[in-house]
Structure 1
Amino acid sequence: MIDIKEDSLLDATGLYCPEPVMLLHNKVRELESGNVLMVVATDPSTERDIPKFCTFLGHELLEQIHENETFRYYIRVGES
């Protein structure tokens, strides 16, 4: 695990597919390119969906952490 300082937080705990990715899509629109967003989720489908979201839309997935029932993602926002 690397030490990453996030600029913004998206708490998607308790939400299920497709809500976490829908909220993520809206949140990255609010942020500037280069900002780091931490997403916290509890839906296991985010392990598949968030990396694909980042690849498809040009965002950088810096780190993906699974601890107990919680998933954390650190995403550097790409150019919009």
Structure 2
Amino acid sequence: MSEALTLNHDDLLDASGLNCPEPVMMLHNKVRDLSPGGLLKVIATDPSTRRDIPKFCVFLGHELLGQAEEDGTYLYWIRKKAD
């Protein structure tokens, strides 16, 4: 997971202050616009994202490269699947 913390991301989704289901809805739209193989960094404050974002990745075939928590903020690095 520490490798993900140093990766340069192609796009950023800041879903801070939003509650379920908004972060995942925003993530779905953001990933759709990302190039195949692109790396997205997600910032969220809703604890339910710890469950929802990994499930989102598995369901849609994206790769969750890492996740971290810092003082109530949840960080995720998601690689969009190649088409």
Q: TM-score, normalised by structure 2?
A: 0.93
Paired amino acid for 1:8: D
Give, in angstroms, the shift of residue 36 of structure 1: 0.1
Q: Post-superposition shift, 1:29?
A: 0.6
Q: CA-to-partner distance for each residue in 1:39-71, whole Å, 9 max, x for gaps?
A: 000000000000000000000000000111100
Alignment match, 2:73: 70
RMSD of Structure 2 on Structure 1 (CA): 0.8
Give the drift of 1:79. 3.5
Question: Aligned to 1:6, which of 5, 9, 12?
Answer: 9
- Percent of aligned positions with the same letter in both sequences? 61
Give the length in aligned residue pairs. Answer: 80
* 1:1-80 matches, cutoff 5 A: 1-2=2-3, 3-79=6-82
Query: What amino acid is aligned across from residue 12 of structure 2 in structure 1?
Result: L
List structure 1 runs of 4+ shifted beyond 2 angstroms. none
Q: Structure 2: which amino acid aligns with 1:27?
A: K
Unaligned runs of 5+ in 2: none
CA distance in 2, matches of 1:63, 1:4: 10
Residues 13 and 40 of structure 1 are in contact (CA less than 8 Å); yes or no, is this contact kept in structure 2? yes
5+ residue gaps, structure 1, are none
> How far, CA to CA, are the matches of 1:18 and 1:63 in structure 2?
21
